[in-house]
Amino acid sequence: MLRLAVTEPGKPEIFRSIQGEGRSAGEVRTFVRLSGCNLHCTWCDTPYTWNWRGTKWPHYKDAPGAPHKFDRDAETIEMSVEEVAEAVEAVEAPPAPGVVLTGGEPLIQGSALIELIARLKRADPALLIEIETNGTITPSAALAEAVDLFMVSPKLAHAGDRPALALRPAALAAFAALKSAWFKFVLREASDLDEIAASAVRFGIPSERIMVMPEGTDSATLRAREARLRAPAEAAGYAWSDRLHIHLYGDTRGT
């Protein structure tokens, strides 16, 4: 079974859209948003996949006496691999050449994730499979073989996660060794570039597979950070990623 996020109670967050960020930005994809995450980033833009009522994780949308929490039962749906595959195949035109498995953290779904990929590829061997991951879980050989693109997003200090949880050397080194893995670091300040450079050395991440992306969930914030940070990021040798979906649709689910 797989646990998915929902756009409304009972409706899985499976949708076709433009990929807004990372290596395949600008391309049409079908997205499957899986629920659950092993990290708890303070600026996370999908907290409805993990920030459950009764937990203590802080989030930037917390208000005094009103923490930004979600009801796990209302926000998730369990589906079989076959049900998810059929829902992906039922998404309306235009046709997408690829599927993005995102979250939350998709790799916590274990073998069901590989079963889903195998099922989708059986129906369409040419289908591109992309996974967006926080890079904390070492991909199995079967997963590495089945996935065309991993967009790995290790979390810097500003995400607020414990470094020992967020930066797992074995997992990041395993991703770094895969030609199919690209890395996307979220950028807030120019000083973050030093942290990225240190991570690249520590985990053996080739700089030509590093992208940096401004943190923000509205166009004004993204543009302001781009104006300040794009030049120093590119001078450091990193490719820039925008967040096109935010400019197009805002911070909304199912887009």
What does the binding site for ligand SF4 look like in residue numbers (CB under 6 A)? Answer: 37, 39-41, 44, 46, 49-50, 103-105, 134
Residue 46 vs 199, nearer CB to ligand SF4: 46
Residue 122 vs 162, nearer CB to ligand SF4: 162
Min dist. Cβ of residue 131 to ligand SF4 (A): 12
Q: Whole-angstrom Cα distance, residue 154 to residue 129?
A: 20
Min dist. Cβ of residue 122 to ligand SF4 (A): 29
Q: Which helix (H) or strand (E) holds 33?
A: strand 28-33
Residue 113 vs 127, nearer CB to ligand SF4: 113
Q: Whole-angstrom Cα distance, residue 145 to residue 130?
A: 12
Inter-residue contact 149 to 23 (CB < 8 Å)? yes
Residue 105 vs 242, nearer CB to ligand SF4: 105
Q: Whole-angstrom Cα distance, residue 176 to residue 150?
A: 10
Reduced to 3 states, what is the DSSP secondary structure of residue 185? strand
Query: Taking the CB of residue 61, how many other CB atoms lie within 10 A of it?
Result: 15
Min dist. Cβ of residue 82 to ligand SF4 (A): 26
Min dist. Cβ of residue 76 to ligand SF4 (A): 14
